[in-house]
Amino acid sequence: MTPEEYRQLINSALEACFRVPENTPYAGLAEAMRYSLLAGGKRIRPILVLEFCRIAGGNTEEALPVACAVEMLHTYSLIHDDLPCMDNDELRRGKPTNHVVYGECTATLAGDTLQAEAFGTILRSALPAERKAACAEILAGAVGLDGMCCGQYLDMLWEGRRLTEQELTEINSRKTGALLAAACQMGVAAAGGSGRMLDCAGHFGAALGMAFQIRDDMLDVTGTAESFGKPIGSDAQEGKNTYMVLLGPEGCEKTVNELTTAAKSILSEAFEDTAFLCALADELAVREK
C-alpha cells in the first residue's frame, strides 16, 4: 500500500469508533473524543504499525485495531498536552483545541477515555491472545512511568532552566520517541515476529522519533501556522528548551539527516522489504507540517 492508502484505511476504521446515539447520556463525551480523534493528522504511528506488521509477515487487516489503538493513545496525549495546566494551547491541527471547544473537564475525560479504549481496542481484536497481550504490554511500557508520561513530567519539572542536550533527549526520547518506537514494535508483535525484528523495529522507531522531534522544533521557528496546524514561535515565547536553541538550524538539519540515515540502515538488520519505511523516513525528515 501507499501511505495515502494506509491513511484512508485507518481513517475509515477510526470514523467507525465511538459512534453513540445523540440521546445517550454520555454522547457529549463521545463527541469530544471523536472531535480530536478525527481532526486529521499524518497518522504516522498507525501507518508504522501496519507496515511493520506487513514486513514481519503478518495480516494488516487483523492488525488494524492495534493501529487504531496507537492513534487513540496519541490523541489522548495531544488533548492533555494542550490543557491549560500543561501547554495551554488553543490550536491543534488547525482547529481549536479540545478544551477550548468542550471545556477543561470534558477534555480531560475525553483523553482519559481514549487511553482506556486504546487498550480495550487491542484486547477486543481478533488477534491471538498472546499477540494481543504483547501489543498491550508494549503500549503500556511506552506510555507509563518510564515512557511518555515520564517525558511530560520531566518537561514540566525542568521548565525554566537551561537544559543540556542529554537532558533534552531524556525528555523527548520518552515524550515523542517512545510511542513511535512502540508503534513499530506493536506491528511486529501483531504479526508474531521474532525478537530480532522487535529489537530492530524499536531502534528504528527511536531514531525516527528523535528526528521527528528535532524537525518539530525547527518548524516551530521556520514554519507557518497554516501548514504546521498550530501557533508558530510558541516555544520561544514560553522560553522552552528546544533543539533549535541547543544546536541551531544547521546543527538540527545535520542531526536529522544523521538520525534518518541511521534509522534506514537499522532496518536491513532484520527485514528485507524496507523501501516503504525508508521512503517514509526521508519524507518525514523534510516535512513542512
Model pLDDT, residue 94: 87
Contact 39, 25 (CB under 8 A): no
**Domain 3-285: CATH architecture, name and number where available:** Orthogonal Bundle (1.10)
The rounded Cα 266 to chain-centroid distance in angstroms is 20
Look up residue 58 and give its three cell numbers: 503478518
277 contacts 49 by C-beta, under 8 angstroms: no
Which tens digit of pLDDT belongs to each residue from 200-235? Answer: 999 999 999 999 999 999 998 886 556 555 565 565
Could you tell me the pLDDT band of residue 289, with boundaries at 50, 70 and 90? confident
Is the pLDDT reported for residue 172 higher than 70? yes
CA 71/CA 73 separation, integer angstroms: 5
Res 1 pLDDT > 90: no
Locate 221 and state its grid cell.
Answer: 521557528
Using DSSP's 3-state secondary structure scheme, residue 60 falls into helix
Domain ranges of the chain: 3-285
Rounded to an integer, what distance in angstroms lies between the CA atom of residue 47 and that of residue 120?
A: 20
- Going from the C-alpha of 81 to that of each of 104, 187, 198, 224, 255, the distances in angstroms are 12, 26, 29, 21, 26
Specify whether the CB–CB gap between 6 and 49 falls below 8 A: no
What does the pLDDT look like over 176-189, one tens digit per residue?
A: 999 999 999 999 99
Distance CA 65, CA 62 (A): 7
Coil, helix or strand at residue 96: strand
Quote the pLDDT of residue 93: 87
Alpha helices by DSSP H, the chain: 3-15, 27-37, 44-55, 60-82, 98-102, 104-123, 129-143, 148-157, 165-172, 178-191, 195-222, 225-228, 234-237, 243-267, 275-285
